[in-house]
Structure 1
Amino acid sequence: MAPPRILLSGDPIGHLNQLFKRVSSVNKSTGPFDALLCVGQFFPESSQGLDELTEYIDGRKNIPLPTYFIGDYGAGAVKVLSAAAKETGNQGFKMDGLKITDNLFWLKGSGKFTLHGLSVAYLSGRKSSSGQMYGTYSQDDIDALRALAEEPGIIDIFLTNEWPSGILNRASTTDIPPGILDSPGGDATISELVAEIKPRYHVTGTKGVYYAREPYLNVDAVHITRFIGLAAVGNASKQKFIHAISPTPASTMSSNEISTKPPNTTLSPYTYVEKEPEKRSSDVANDPQYWRYDVSKRQKVGGGDTQKLCFKFISSGDCPRGDKCHFFHDMDAREQSMRGVCFEFLNKGKCERGDCNYKHSLQEERSRSKECWFCLSSPNVESHLITSVGENCYCALAKGPLVQDHILILPIEHLPNTLSSPQECEIEFVKFQNSLKAYFKSHKKEVVFFEWVYIKTSHANLQAIPIPLNRASALQDIFNLAAEKLGFEFMVLKSDRSSEGRKLLRAQFNEKCSLFYVELPGGIILSHVVEENEKFPVQFGREVLAGLLNMADRADWRNCKLSKEEEIKMVERFKNSFEEYDPNK
């Protein structure tokens, strides 16, 4: 099927005759188009423009395409929208728009819906502290949008009225419209949202200019984002206010298609730093992850004075706003969320989403081995990923592997970490490590082992990632650089044999503290005790190695998911190749 064809419009400001005349003309000459999406102020500036609006609301004039708008402010907005909200057909939870009249739909608050196969998210209104019923967005709208953003799948189009602050960072100055650099800054909340949502297209209005920024990379995602700012309808400077796109829905695209990047792609404007860090070596200098390790990412729990929960912390355990976050970082609520409890229910005590698939009651902790993905006795274990099984430990292909032979070494029983495991487990861990070292050495590679020991970790796993020989010399430098950017220094253990280094580490390990450690080639172990109020990046080890390997888009395992068939093939290939080194063959 041909991809849907969508028209985008900047602020109509009540100039509906001019807007729909232009839409009809474009639709006739280059159409047909499937829908029109309007950003920026939809209603007129004053009551003088209400007659033109009323002709369409009353049905005396036809609207040529299904039209969706988010700019619910201006003259007449309260009267029109209040009446629409009372209509029987608009009752309930309707994220795909409240019908105003034939072919005209109001996208209220925030939400996500599917339009001709495209996933469309939106934030209606503008930022304001006035608490108006219409024309402004609330914290609830932001939290709901963050909740929707965490759901599986890629957002194709994100609609906001105001520009995000920082969008001009890293942009080509030759393409920026005259005067825009001197205009008031954008909305920082939208910057945070768009960095989390990672849409393929971000469309805004209200600045009065047309601006299509170079595509930019997203953090922890393989696809790019294109920003499009549109001018107001009928603007005096004749800036472009209509734009056509025809994107293939991400849900139907292959991984190669979704990860294609044009040559003019820039880094994300939302991770901009003025001064580049000092370069340590030729390998480290090429690390695209430099900017990720910032001191601001050391975060304290519960820094706000409100009882509202921080959605980002609850959903991922990591809040990018750090000490500036005004919402509550509640570990108990996070654990309930991990058991499938609805965020809205946790935050407000109720959920108003009519189609919510999450639990609306607090859940007692069930047997860990029944819920755990890694316990061999669990019905949830993905046995097709297992490559070798011993008496106390087993090896498995990592879910969403960073590289092809990314392996996990895990205890068979439910243990929180490898450092406090029984001695018989430790003996097998070391045996597996030595086998993997020999195997990768035969393939002219070194192997890096790391573990994130979190005091509430559900099941221990020691990750093993092979590294090309020509990158191994930069390993210690790049881990030290990443630590420096987070504001700490690694403790260094060195021994001739890795088993001796692990003995020292086990002897020093305090089970009441969280710990990250990495075992490097040559018997070097780097470790860091994570303080109680320090928020340590969950995927730190993987992110550092992704940077070293120039695989920034694979830093998040969720971007590297494979089908079960692909996983089975990868496991069989590894098992056949590893067979002569397998200590359990």
Structure 2
Amino acid sequence: MASPRILLCGDVLGRLNQLFKRVNSVNKSAGPFDALFCVGQFFPDEPDRLDELMDYVEGRAQVPLPTYFIGDYGVGAPKVLSAVSRNSANQGFKMDGFKVCDNLFWLKGSGMFTFHGLSVAYLSGRQLSNGQQFGTYSQIDIDTLRAFAEEPGIYLMMTLISQRLQVEMTNDRTQLDVNRKIIEAGTKGAYYVREPYCNVDAVHVTRFLGLASVGNKEKQKFLHALSPTPSSTMAAAEISAKPPNTTLSPYTLVDQVDRPKETTKRASDIELDSQYWRYDVSSKRQKHGNGDTNKVCFKFISSGTCPRGEKCNFPHDADAREQFLRGVCLDFIIKGKCEKGPDCNFKHSLQDDGENHSRKRLGSSNANINRSKECWFCLSSPNVESHLVTSIGENFYCALAKGPLVQDHVLIIPVEHMPNTLSLPADSEIELGKFQNSLKVYYKNQGNEAVFFEWISIRGTHANLQAVPVPSSKAAILKDIFTLAAEKLGFEFVTKK
């Protein structure tokens, strides 16, 4: 696979016409380029430039190539980004960008995604929130990025934080351990390239690049072309190669000056621990090792694994991990509240697994009674959302999804409380097939194909087979899409016949 060709840009400040004129010129002379990554303030700082930006947002002008930005503040940002957040196409866990318009994507908060084999991590916004809805990042964004930073192979780090500020932040225990090959930053209005420096816990060197703002009066460089080779395709000798002008890590130097020797180890341990724990807001807290029973391992919740394993000082809470997988807001899980409020795209309530975490044996009659009362899907339960039910058969019933992924998202649910639909009696299997065929016909009449999927929990929750329509024109590439999505989330998509 050929190395991706990308462009990096500093503060845009709403000057999209000037930016894309330059991009088109570079693209013709040295391209084609695959994408443009913008750091610094993307929106204008003056109202008279808002019309220029809105021409692109509303489709009157075209963005020439896929463009990603992180500086989500400035004039017009709340209006534009509020509309983007409400768009149904932008709902869910989207670390690869919220679509603003064709070829323009907003990288919100923090995250990591893969672009043409290149791992890109980002931190969007400024640190101080002052109650602002957009243009800031939270502590949870920092913690999430720290978790991603432990993953190998991240090549490009996008941030608004300058090199000077990053060094100063080490004193406040907010230094990000981003041992990346390239760190791109904006907001300082100046072009700056630092000598490559060594990393403490990684063999490769890191290059820091600061870019000036678009249309700056000093005519400093605001656009930089790059054709990086993804680390996953490089030999070990290439990754560890150090240019002659390589320096020590600036963060290590700051640590040595500002921290007494006798407290270095203890401070390091505290800082490392702070990357792992968060307060457990659930009523169920189990002691794990010598850790604090009021705290849980953030790394385990967010990724499902923890490099510390049994040596971790904090509980690996499977319940919290399951809530995260069910789409519950990570902020809500670990802190009990979310700063984003109604604008958050995730759920702000714990999602019951159908058994209310009962410790009683499933075989007992009392457990069965309690299970039916508490289960969302048992028709005998007072909690069942009966207004969503569309059809009831002998063994299955059909209902609209309470929190649909797309329009016409439907659930096929067994009438009896059973853990999955993989092992069914013959008559139940026949009826399930009839429900599926009916949905296929319904979706077909609308120019769609049906995708069926099921979440199977080891806890034996009430089964629900979910049906989602996708455009027929996309059906042939579904497997490729699933494979790519799995790679982005760090696992392998496997098909079995």
- What TM-score do you get using the length of structure 1 for normalisation? 0.48
In structure 2, relative to structure 1, the CA distance for the partners of 1:301 and 1:7 (3 Å cut) is closer
Aligned counterparts, 1:202-221, within 5 A: 202-221=183-202
Q: Does 1:54 align with 2:54?
A: yes
Contact 1:222 1:258 in 2 (8 A): yes
In structure 1, C-alpha distance between the alignment counterparts of 2:77 and 2:317, rounded to whole Å: 28
| 2:21 alignment partner in structure 1 | 21
1:160 aligned onto 2:159:
yes
AA in 2 matched with 1:159: M
> How far, CA to CA, are the matches of 2:101 and 2:91 in structure 1?
15
> Are residues 265 and 292 of structure 1, via their aligned partners in 2, closer, same or farther at CA, if it must alter by over 3 Å?
farther
Counterparts of 1:69 and 1:292 in 2: how far apart (Å)? 36
- Equivalent residue, structure 1, for 2:133: 133
Relative to structure 1, is the Cα distance of residues 122 and 37 closer, same or farther in structure 2, using a 3 angstrom cutoff? same
Distance 1:94 1:125, change over 3 A: same
Q: Which runs of 5+ in 1 are unaligned?
A: 170-184, 277-290, 316-328, 363-585
- Deviation sequence 1:417-437 (CA, Å, 0-9, x none): xxxxxxxxxxxxxxxxxxxxx
Structure 1 residue 162 displacement after superposition: 2.1
In structure 2, C-alpha distance between the alignment counterparts of 1:190 and 1:21, rounded to whole Å: 42
How far does residue 302 in structure 1 lie from its aligned partner after superposition?
11
Counterpart Cα distance in 2 of 1:223 and 1:51:
44
CA shift for structure 1 position 220: 1.4
Q: CA deviation at 1:295?
A: 3.2
- Displacement of 1:197 in angstroms is 2.2
Quote the offset at 1:118 in angstroms: 0.4
Task: Describe the superposition over 1:264-301 as per-residue Cα deviations: whole angstroms up to 9, x where unpaired.
Answer: 0000010115989xxxxxxxxxxxxxx99943323279
Pair 1:312 & 2:300 matched: no
- Contact 1:6/1:244 (8 A) holds in 2: yes
Note if contact 1:162-1:204 (Cα within 8 Å) is conserved in structure 2. Answer: yes
Cα distance in 1, alignment partners of residues 113 and 128 from structure 2: 25
CA distance in 2, matches of 1:355, 1:263: 49
Tell me, in whole angstroms, the C-alpha distance in 2 between the residues paired with 1:191 and 1:230: 23
Structure 1 residue 349 displacement after superposition: 9.4
In 2, Cα distance between equivalents of 1:197 and 1:103:
28
Change (3 A) 1:112 1:344: farther
User: Which whole-Å CA distance do the structure 1 matches of 2:39 and 2:194 have between them?
Assistant: 17
DSSP 3-state at the match of 1:17? helix
Q: Distance in 1 between matches of 2:162 and 2:318?
A: 31
Show the 5 A alignment for 1:441-480. Answer: none
Paired residues of 2:162 and 2:186 also in contact (CA < 8 A): yes
Distance apart, 1:313 and its partner CA: 4.8
CA distance in 2, matches of 1:274, 1:197: 16
Structure 2 SS opposite 1:140: helix
Q: Note the aligned Cα RMSD (angstroms).
A: 3.8
The correspondence of residues 299-448 of structure 1 with structure 2, limited to 5 A, is 299=266, 310-314=273-277, 330=292, 333=296, 338=309, 350-351=323-324
Contact 2:169–2:175 (CA<8 Å) still a contact in 1?
A: no
Tell me what 1:95 maps to: 95
SS across alignment from 2:154: coil
Offset of residue 351 of structure 1: 2.1
User: How far, CA to CA, are the matches of 1:17 and 1:66 in structure 2?
Assistant: 15
User: Are residue 192 (structure 1) and residue 175 (structure 2) matched?
Assistant: yes
Match of 1:270 among 251, 254, 263: 251
* 1:243-282 map, 5 Å: 243-273=224-254
Deviations for 1:327-366, whole angstroms, at most 9, x for unmatched residues? xx8487459853699979788994268599xxx999xxxx
Amino acid at match of 2:324: C
Query: Structure 2 matches for 1:68-87, cutoff 5 A?
Result: 68-87=68-87
**Alignment CA distance shift 1:136-1:166 (3 Å):** closer
2:41 is paired with a residue whose SS is coil
Q: Distance in 1 between matches of 2:184 and 2:327?
A: 28
Kindly state the Cα deviation for residue 130 of structure 1 after the two structures are TM-superposed.
1.1
Q: Could you tell me which residue of structure 2 aligns to residue 295 of structure 1?
A: 262
Larger radius of gyration: 1
2-side partners of 1:246 and 1:355: how far apart?
A: 38
TM norm structure 2? 0.56
Q: Which has the higher contact order (CA 8 A, sep 6+)?
A: 1
1:330 & 1:349 partners in 2: Cα distance? 21
In 2: Cα distance, 1:10 partner to 1:63 partner: 17
Deviation, 1:48, is 1.1
Residue in structure 2 matched with residue 181 of structure 1 by the alignment: none
Q: Secondary structure at the match of 2:275?
A: helix
**In structure 2, what residue type is equivalent to 1:218?**
N
Classify the secondary structure of the residue corresponding to 1:11.
coil
Distance 1:90 1:188, change over 3 A: farther
Residues 186 and 49 of structure 1, relative CA distance in 2, 3 Å threshold: farther
Offset at residue 132 of structure 1 (A): 1.7
Residue correspondences, number:
311
Contact 1:11 / 1:42 at 8 angstroms: preserved in 2?
yes
The 8 Å contact of residues 164 and 188 in structure 1, kept in 2 or not, is answered as: no
Question: 2-side partners of 1:16 and 1:113: how far apart?
Answer: 25
In the aligned structure 2, how far is the partner of 1:311 from the partner of 1:343? 15
Measure the CA separation in 2 of the matches of 1:256 and 1:353: 42
Is the CA contact (8 Å cut-off) linking 1:24 and 1:64 kept in structure 2?
yes
Secondary structure at 1:156 match in 2: strand
Q: 1:300 to 1:85 in 2, by over 3 A?
A: same
Whether the aligned pair in 1 keeps the contact of 2:90 and 2:99 (CA below 8 Å) is: yes
| Distance across 1 between alignment mates of 2:326 and 2:242 | 36
Aligned to 1:38: 38
Report the Cα distance in structure 2 between the residues aligned to 1:303 and 1:190, rounded to whole angstroms: 10
* Cα pair 1:314 1:330 within 8 Å, conserved: no
Indicate conservation of the 8 Å contact 1:311/1:343, yes or no. no
Unaligned runs of 5+ in 2: 279-290, 301-305, 330-350, 358-497
- How much has 1:311 moved relative to structure 2? 4.4
Residues 147, 343 of structure 1: 8 Å contact kept: no
Cα distance change of structure 1 residues 129 and 56 upon mapping to structure 2, 3 Å threshold? closer
Give 1:141 deviation, angstroms.
Answer: 0.5
Flag the 1:230–1:303 CA change in 2: closer, same or farther, 3 A.
closer
Q: Is the 8 A contact 1:217 1:266 kept in 2?
A: yes
The yes-or-no answer on 1:144 pairing with 2:144 is: yes
Q: 1:351 is paired with a residue of what secondary structure?
A: helix
Question: Any conservation in 2 of the 1:200–1:223 contact (CA below 8 Å)?
Answer: yes
